[in-house]
Amino acid sequence: MPSLLRNVAALIIAVTILQLAGGLLGVRIPLAFSEQGHSRTALGLIAASYAAGFMIGAMVATMLLARVGHIRVYAACAAIFSVAILALHLSSDVWMWGLARMFAGMTVALMFAAIESWMSYSIGSRVRGEVMSVYMVLTKGALALGPFFAFGYAPIEAEPWMIAAALAALSMVPICFTAAEQPDPPKAQPIALVEQFATAPAAVIGSFGAGLVNGGVLALAPLYAADNYGAHAAAEFYSAAFVGSLLLQWPAGRLSDRVDRRLVIAGLAALAAFASFGLALWSGQLQSWSAVLLFFLWGAGALSFYGIAVAHMADRAEPGKLAQSAAGLLFVWAGGSVIGPLLLGPIVDLFDVAGMFWFAGIAALFVCGAMFWRRNTREPALNKEDFSPQIGTSVAAGEMAYGDEKAQSDPGAIAGVPNPR
């Protein structure tokens, strides 16, 4: 295991540095956008633009990786991502921000595709769980730590954008200097969403619900914290959600190996709904520590059930089709991440920032109810894949964690992007 980690250490370090920038931007973007006087509806559009760009990037990943290789794709996208970050400081126009965030989403998807397909190529099935655990802990820890890299700066200052852009650029260094062998040119299967819904409806519903609930709340929660507890609380709020998910996802996943995964998804969604309704009912009345604790519980539930939905699909997918299925779930998640912010923006403009928690709570209850409905409709899987942790913005993590027959015969495959050949 130590020697294997050395083989992929450069890849994990690169994504960890990249996620430091992602965590910083997760707090800085809503605060700066609000400071410029834009509406919550416009902020929802910006968040949806990022998710839409992510979908586009995942669709073209195979073509680019096959054409120029993993290192060049990552380095070029890191450079474009850095420029897209700095563009947010240079303009206050909503449409320019939307365009910059769309390019950011495209480049981040391509960077994840390059890293995760490379890791899938480099690790064997016997150690996937261990590698994924290290990968998840470091990347989610970076998302939690990232907001504090700009702690104390006013929303309109240039330094946070410069720090985020520098981190994105620095993430190129481990990739460019690694001696690890690059994967072969990738191939993949097309996405078949209708077939995947027929295979595991609960997995599709859970993935869509994760995007619907998480995309908008993570975009707007820093504003909730800043409005009620001051700008300094925004970083604490954002970080608490990812720490909650980091602590609960693995135990919940291991529990789902022993009981029906749909029950675990329902329990996590119920936890997210409980925390959401608590934040909505007592908005502004809670002390800072109790609000952070509730958001910690929200993150523990809402940010953890996507990975279990992927595992549920792995239990039911046909042999050789897990890469295709994992990619389909990613696109469903991304679709929810587009719709969620677009709906939440007007809701927050009408009912204040606390309105997002009413929306999140209702959406989480829908996921919870859907899991019980599916459990009563269909028997649980007889044979299960062991749970491996997943990251919601992962292009190829489903294939990397569980593998499939195609991945074994074609280790350079990228999950679910059209075959350029």
Least confident segment among 9-13, 257-261, 280-284, 350-354? 350-354
**Tokens representing residue 338 in the block:** 């587009």
Q: For residues 276 and 216, what is the distance between their CA atoms, to the nearest angstrom?
A: 13
**Residue 317 φ/ψ, nearest 5 degrees:** -65, 145
Query: Looking at the domain assignment, is residue 274 inside a domain?
Result: yes
**Cα 245 from chain centroid?**
12
pLDDT of residue 186: 63
**Tokens representing residue 258 in the block:** 């022993």
Among the listed residues 225, 252, 12, the one whose alpha carbon sits nearest the alpha carbon of residue 136: 12
Q: For residues 371 and 365, what is the distance between their CA atoms, to the nearest angstrom?
A: 10
Query: Looking at the domain assignment, is residue 16 inside a domain?
Result: yes
pLDDT of residue 306: 85
Task: Output the pTM of the full model.
Answer: 0.82
Least confident segment among 20-24, 151-155, 272-276, 346-350? 151-155
Quick one: which H or E segment has residue 28?
Answer: helix 2-35
Dihedral sign for Cα 200, 206, 208, 210, please: negative
Residue pair 26/193 in contact (Cβ under 8 Å)? The answer is no
Query: Looking at the domain assignment, is residue 297 inside a domain?
Result: yes
pLDDT of residue 25: 94
- Which structural domain range is residue 349 located in? 2-408
Q: Average of pLDDT values for 303-331?
A: 74
- In the chain, the percentage of residues whose pLDDT exceeds 70 is 82
Query: Looking at the domain assignment, is residue 377 inside a domain?
Result: yes
Q: Average of pLDDT values for 270-299?
A: 91
Q: What is the CATH number of the domain that holds 123?
A: 1.20.1250.20
pLDDT by residue (tens digit) across 99-125?
Answer: 999 999 999 989 988 887 787 777 765
Least confident segment among 96-110, 127-141, 225-239, 292-306? 127-141
Give the position of tokens 């993935």. Answer: 207
Query: Looking at the domain assignment, is residue 420 inside a domain?
Result: no
pLDDT by residue (tens digit) across 333-373?
Answer: 888 889 988 888 888 888 777 788 999 999 999 999 999 99
- pLDDT band at residue 408 using 50, 70 and 90 as cut-offs: very low
Number of domains in the chain: 1
Residue pair 298/244 in contact (Cβ under 8 Å)? The answer is yes
Query: Looking at the domain assignment, is residue 153 inside a domain?
Result: yes
Residue pair 54/178 in contact (Cβ under 8 Å)? The answer is no
Query: Looking at the domain assignment, is residue 292 inside a domain?
Result: yes
Three-state DSSP state, 171: coil
DSSP 40-91: HHHHHHHHHHHHHHHHHHHHHHHHHHHHH-HHHHHHHHHHHHHHHHHHHHH-
Q: For residues 297 and 109, what is the distance between their CA atoms, to the nearest angstrom?
A: 28
Residue pair 54/334 in contact (Cβ under 8 Å)? The answer is yes
Q: Which residues contact 215 (CB under 8 A, 6 or more apart)?
A: 47, 48, 51, 336, 337, 338, 340, 341
Q: For residues 206 and 51, what is the distance between their CA atoms, to the nearest angstrom?
A: 17
Ranked by mean pLDDT, the top range of 33-37, 105-109, 118-122, 316-320 is 105-109
Q: For residues 367 and 371, what is the distance between their CA atoms, to the nearest angstrom?
A: 6
Judge residue 179's burial from the number of C-beta atoms within 10 Å of its C-beta, 0-12 exposed, 13-18 middle, 19 or more buried: exposed
Please give the single-letter amino acid code of residue 407: A
**Tokens representing residue 385 in the block:** 């894949």
User: Cα-atom radius of gyration of the chain, to the nearest Å?
Assistant: 20
pLDDT of residue 228: 85
pLDDT of residue 127: 60
Query: Looking at the domain assignment, is residue 172 inside a domain?
Result: yes
pLDDT at 421 > cutoff 50: no
Instruction: Decide which of 60 and 146 is more confident.
Output: 146
Residue pair 114/70 in contact (Cβ under 8 Å)? The answer is yes
pLDDT of residue 325: 66
**Residue 196 φ/ψ, nearest 5 degrees:** -70, -35
